[in-house]
Structure 1
């Protein structure tokens, strides 16, 4: 129990303003990762192409089976 009380006092005393800055830094890093993941996600492109009719896909030179390959063509080399 004494250790816990000491630890709480130590944490509050030494990390007051610094803890806030560290939390803000972690929040910015988390937001950056979330933005990167959103940019890398291509689910919206796949959904948009999947919503097209077969005739519309054919006019784009695509088949329904080729949608994922087309969307990830810069990442997959098959």
Structure 2
């Protein structure tokens, strides 16, 4: 009967000292931090996007509350309010 050594038992080998661990099947601290950074950037972008969107909706509501005469002085028609507020998103 033959016995396997500890290194022969496991398919994943721990790299020897001084060797690169980039091929190891586990996360390095740098990779983990990079993934966390990506997650937090995505969350931040979503928060900023919703805040910006909310500000635009508030701007549309404020313009809709104005009279036709006030809008005319601003050079706007009531039908053009949404296009005016969101113009940079659609035509940039």
User: What TM-score does the superposition give when structure 1 sets the normalisation length?
Assistant: 0.54
Report which structure shows greater RCO (CA 8 Å, sep ≥6). Answer: 1
Match of 2:84 in 1: 70
The match for 1:38 among 51, 66, 69 is 51
Question: Structure 2 unaligned runs (5+)?
Answer: 1-38
- RMSD value over aligned CA atoms? 2.5
Cα distance per residue 1:15-59 (max 9 Å; x no partner): xxxxxxxxxxx7886465223311133100100000000000000
If you compute each CA radius of gyration, which structure gives the higher value, 1 or 2?
2
Greater helix proportion: 1
Structure 1 outlier segments of 4+, above 3 Å: 26-32
Deviates more, 1:36-45 or 1:63-72: 36-45
Q: Does the alignment pair 1:57 with 2:58? A: no
Instruction: Give the count of matched residue pairs.
Output: 55
User: What TM-score does the superposition give when structure 2 sets the normalisation length?
Assistant: 0.47
Deviates more, 1:39-48 or 1:56-65: 39-48
Question: Structure 1 unaligned runs (5+)?
Answer: 1-25
